[in-house]
Amino acid sequence: MASLDTSIANTALPTIAADLLASPAASVWVVNAYQLALVVSLLPFASLGEIYGYRRVYTVGLAVFTVASLVCAASWSLPTLTAARVLQGLGASGIMSVNTALVRYIYPSRSLGRGVGFNALVVGVSTALGPTVAAAVLSVASWQWLFAVNGPVGVAALVLAVRYLPETPQAAHRFDVRSALLNAATFGLLIFGIGEATHSAPGPVIALVLGGAAVSGFFLIQRQLRLAAPMLPVDLYRRPMFALSSLTSVCSFAAQGLAFVSLPFYFQTVLGRSAVETGLLLTSWPVVTAAMAPVAGPLSDRYPPAVLGGIGMATLAVGLLLMATLPARPDDLSCVWRLMVCGAGFGFFQSPNLKAIMSSAPPERSGGASGIVATSRLVGQSVGAALVALCFGVSALHGPALAVALGAGFAAAASLVSFSRLTAASRS
Supply the CATH number for residue 260's domain. Answer: 1.20.1250.20
Let me know whether 109 and 203 are in one domain. Answer: no
Residue 28 near residue 199 (C-beta atoms within 8 A)? yes
Q: What's the pLDDT tens digit per position in 118-157? A: 777 787 677 667 767 877 888 888 889 989 989 999 999 9
Q: How far is 103 from 106, CA to CA, in rounded Å?
A: 5
How much is the pLDDT for 68? 96
Check residue 124 and give its pLDDT.
67
196 and 80 together in one domain? no
Distance between CA atoms of 256 and 377, rounded to whole angstroms? 10
Give the residue from 165, 198, 226 where a domain finishes: 226
Q: Does one domain contain both 304 and 292?
A: yes
* pLDDT at residue 13, rounded to an integer: 72
211 and 234 both lie in a single domain? no
Residues 141 and 105 in one domain: yes
Decide: helix, strand or coil at residue 21. coil
Q: Are residues 79 and 202 in the same domain?
A: no
The single-letter code of the amino acid at 364 is E
Q: Give a three-class secondary structure readout of 261-280.
A: HHHHHHHHHHCCCCHHHHHH
Do residues 217 and 308 both lie within one domain? no
Task: Report the C-alpha gap between 124 and 113 in whole angstroms.
Answer: 16
| DSSP designation for 270 | I
**297 neighbors 103 (Cβ within 8 angstroms):** no
- The total of structural domains in the chain comes to 2
The model's pTM is 0.80
Cα dihedral value 80, 86, 87, 88, nearest 10: 100
DSSP 8-state symbol, 228:
S
237 & 195 share domain: no
Same domain, 213 and 330: no
Amino acid 382: pLDDT: 79
Say if residue 231 is in the same domain as residue 262: yes
6 with 91, same domain: the answer is yes
How many alpha carbons lie under 13 Å from residue 409 in its C-beta half-sphere? 9
Rounded (to 5) percent helix, strand, coil in the chain: 85, 0, 15
Length of the chain: 428
CB 343 within 8 A of CB 285: yes
Q: What one-letter code names the amino acid at 36?
A: L
Alpha-carbon torsion, ordered 255, 277, 294, 349, to 10 deg: -10
In tens digits, what is the pLDDT along the chain, a chain of 428 residues?
Answer: 887 876 677 667 778 888 888 876 677 788 778 888 988 999 999 999 989 999 999 999 999 999 999 999 999 999 999 999 999 999 999 998 898 889 888 888 777 777 877 777 787 677 667 767 877 888 888 889 989 989 999 999 999 999 999 988 888 888 999 999 999 999 889 888 877 776 667 878 888 999 999 999 999 999 999 888 889 888 888 888 888 999 999 999 999 888 887 888 788 778 888 767 777 788 888 888 878 877 887 888 888 888 999 999 999 999 999 999 888 888 889 999 999 999 999 988 888 888 888 888 888 788 888 888 888 888 888 788 778 877 877 776 778 888 899 999 999 999 999 999 888 665 55
Among 243, 337, 97, smallest CA distance to 234 is for 243
CA distance 176 to 187: 17
Provide the domain limits for residue 202.
177-226
Is 408 within 8 Å of 251 (Cβ atoms)? no
Q: Counting Cβ atoms within 10 Å, is residue 381 exposed (0-12), middle (13-18) or buried (19+)?
A: buried
Regarding whether 357 and 371 lie in a shared domain, the answer is: yes
